[in-house]
């Protein structure tokens, strides 16, 4: 590698210059090719060399920038420093080209190269583009290789970033303010999950990476904000599988003076508008239809609404209120559903049953409502049945994408529920919600009736890009360290 760099320097060429020239992107050249061909004006373009075909007195190269790819032609009797090209360049190098539009006998849109400049020397051996990289493990560990060689993979991330952009735009249009809350927290909470722990030496205190921004956002509602949202990273010290990554992106939103019913209507409108704008850019034939893993999902229709206890009874033939914990444990064992017998409760075992055998059946947009109090420690109680809460989850394509509820703003009730969760935490339930006296104190100052919403951005992107695995839509997913 060093010999290669020294050889280039001896010729008097800087392998890593600071400046480059660019008049047009490659896609602009291709789209306006007739115009460039007619006026014969020369221009500067940039890109990475993806292929070299050397025919002696003529060399064909393919270069690629973020927008497209084009063939460039170097001729012995036309291109300056033609011979030196062979000594300097290989596949993977970045090049600056000055030339004009040219149409060879093959009629392939091309650029006739007058001169060139090396912009960045690649020290790795790139395969020919036809062969690409087929080592799946290598591609996962080095995602930049995926997006160099596979345009379809890069398109997924173009779509991802567009989805986040239009989600923000829609919320701004609806009068929501984007805010920020701490990622390093003295008290973690807002979900039932195991946190990552760290330590702040300056203050001699333990800290946690947030599992959710919920409690901090609700403190802002107490502080006088009424329509707020945050898009950011959450961290949960849990397993890695098709739909879980320890670091993931969430959008959380809190809407003061909004009830659960109004929030469900808001969610329908929000997702519908998002899909419409997404399809307008990427799927111009459709307005509200998304193809996901063989299913046509229609966001133009009203979402189904199913009660949590009703769907449990439908698939298990067990009644959440009438059947015992033992009945649900026996059902779980028969269906090979794993659970921790030391910390199992009816709410936990029923939720595991739902996740393993029922969730995958909810393909069309569906609201699951009225979850048990035991698994919803931050949601208001349903007055018709105080064992249930005013919570709803949104399912699309068999994935949980949305979690929301009418927020519990009664400090006495919240304190009691935190105490119940603390007991589970002491018994060894690492996902139980810890007691947070700072949040209770905030509620004691008074929080207006509020509805809160969380949307899993990664899973939403999976659905809109028809991706089967979470690792396909996260540019840097967590993977096991390579064994030496």
Report the C-alpha gap between 150 and 153 in whole angstroms: 5
**What residue has token string 């966001």?**
299
Helices 437-445 and 214-222 cross at an angle (nearest 10°) of: 30
Residues 348-381 pLDDT 10s: 899 999 999 999 999 999 999 999 998 998 899 9
420 and 464: one domain? yes
The answer to whether residue 369 sits within a structural domain is: yes
- Percentage of the residues of the chain whose pLDDT score is greater than 70: 98
What is residue 350's predicted lDDT score, i.e. its pLDDT?
95
Asked if residues 452 and 259 have their Cβ atoms less than 8 Å apart, the reply is: no
Report the C-alpha gap between 133 and 122 in whole angstroms: 16
User: 227 vs 347, which has greater pLDDT?
Assistant: 227
The answer to whether residue 255 sits within a structural domain is: yes
Query: What mean pLDDT comes out for the span 188-214?
Result: 93
Q: How confident is the model at residue 131 (pLDDT cuts 50, 70, 90)?
A: low
Cite the beta strand spans of 87-176 per DSSP E.
94-102, 110-120
The answer to whether residue 77 sits within a structural domain is: yes
What is residue 134's predicted lDDT score, i.e. its pLDDT?
65
Q: How far is the first Cα of the chain from the last one, in angstroms, to the nearest whole number? A: 23
Report the C-alpha gap between 213 and 181 in whole angstroms: 6
pLDDT for 484 beyond 80: no
State the DSSP H helix or E strand holding residue 363, giving kind and residue range, or none if neither. none
Show which of 86, 104, 131 is a domain's final residue.
131
What is residue 126's predicted lDDT score, i.e. its pLDDT?
80
245 and 203: one domain? yes
Query: What mean pLDDT comes out for the span 229-235?
Result: 97
State the DSSP H helix or E strand holding residue 406, giving kind and residue range, or none if neither. strand 399-406
What is residue 274's predicted lDDT score, i.e. its pLDDT?
98
Q: At 373, is the secondary structure helix, strand, or coil? A: helix
User: What angle (nearest 5°) sits at the alpha carbon of residue 268, between those of residues 474 and 292?
Assistant: 45
pTM of the model as a whole: 0.92
Asked if residues 187 and 439 have their Cβ atoms less than 8 Å apart, the reply is: yes
Q: Which of 34-43, 295-304, 361-370, 422-431 has the lowest mean pLDDT?
A: 422-431
Q: How confident is the model at residue 3 (pLDDT cuts 50, 70, 90)?
A: confident
Domain count, the chain: 2
Give the single-character DSSP code of 367. E
42 and 101: one domain? yes
User: 342 vs 457, which has greater pLDDT?
Assistant: 457
Domain that holds residue 234: 148-303+364-472
CA quadruple 278, 283, 285, 289: dihedral positive or negative?
A: negative
Report the C-alpha gap between 229 and 5 in whole angstroms: 50
What is residue 127's predicted lDDT score, i.e. its pLDDT?
72
Q: Which of 128-142, 422-436, 462-476 has the lowest mean pLDDT?
A: 128-142
Report the C-alpha gap between 128 and 82 in whole angstroms: 22
85 and 228: one domain? no
Mean per-residue pLDDT of the chain:
94
123 and 244: one domain? no
CATH assignment of the domain containing 81: 2.40.50.140
């Amino acid at each position: 590698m060093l010999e290669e760099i020294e050889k280039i320097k001896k010729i008097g060429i800087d392998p890593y210059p600071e400046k480059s020239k660019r008049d047009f992107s490659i896609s602009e050249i291709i789209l306006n090719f007739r115009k460039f061909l007619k006026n014969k004006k020369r221009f500067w373009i940039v890109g990475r060399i993806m292929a070299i075909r050397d025919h002696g007195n003529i060399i064909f190269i393919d270069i690629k920038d973020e927008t497209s790819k084009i063939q460039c032609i170097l001729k012995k009797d036309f291109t300056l420093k033609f011979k030196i090209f062979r000594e300097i360049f290989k596949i993977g190098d970045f090049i600056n080209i000055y030339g004009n539009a040219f149409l060879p006998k093959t009629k392939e849109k091309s650029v006739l190269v007058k001169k060139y400049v090396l912009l960045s020397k690649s020290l790795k051996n790139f395969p020919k583009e036809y062969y690409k990289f087929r080592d799946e493990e290598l591609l996962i560990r080095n995602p930049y290789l995926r997006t160099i060689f596979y345009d379809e993979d890069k398109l997924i991330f173009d779509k991802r970033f567009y989805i986040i952009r239009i989600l923000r735009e829609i919320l701004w249009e609806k009068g929501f303010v984007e805010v920020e809350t701490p990622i390093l927290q003295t008290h973690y909470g807002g979900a039932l999950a195991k946190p990552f722990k760290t330590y702040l030496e300056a203050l001699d205190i333990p800290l946690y990476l947030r599992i959710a921004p919920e409690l901090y956002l609700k403190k802002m509602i107490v502080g006088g904000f009424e329509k707020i949202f945050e898009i950011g990273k959450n961290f949960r010290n849990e397993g890695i599988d098709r739909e879980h990554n320890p670091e993931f992106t969430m959008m959380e939103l809190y809407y003061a003076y909004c009830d659960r019913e109004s929030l469900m209507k808001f969610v329908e409108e929000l997702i519908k508008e998002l899909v419409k704008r997404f399809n307008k850019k990427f799927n111009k034939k459709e307005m509200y239809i998304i193809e996901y893993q063989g299913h046509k999902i229609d966001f133009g229709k009203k979402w189904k609404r199913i009660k949590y206890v009703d769907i449990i009874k439908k698939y298990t033939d067990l009644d959440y209120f009438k059947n015992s914990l033992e009945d649900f444990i026996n059902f779980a064992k028969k269906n090979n559903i794993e659970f921790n017998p030391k910390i199992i409760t009816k709410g936990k075992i029923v939720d595991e049953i739902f996740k393993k055998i029922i969730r995958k059946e909810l393909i069309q947009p569906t609201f699951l409502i009225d979850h048990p109090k035991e698994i919803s420690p931050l949601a208001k109680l349903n007055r018709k049945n105080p064992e249930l809460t005013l919570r709803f989850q949104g399912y699309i394509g068999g994935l949980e994408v949305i979690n929301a509820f009418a927020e519990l703003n009664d400090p006495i009730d919240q304190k009691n529920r935190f105490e119940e969760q603390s007991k589970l935490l002491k018994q060894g339930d690492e996902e139980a919600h810890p007691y947070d006296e700072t949040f209770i104190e905030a509620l004691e100052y008074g929080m207006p009736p509020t509805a809160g919403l969380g949307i899993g951005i990664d899973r939403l992107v999976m659905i809109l890009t028809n991706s089967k695995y979470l690792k396909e839509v996260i540019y840097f997913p967590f993977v096991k360290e390579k064994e030496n």
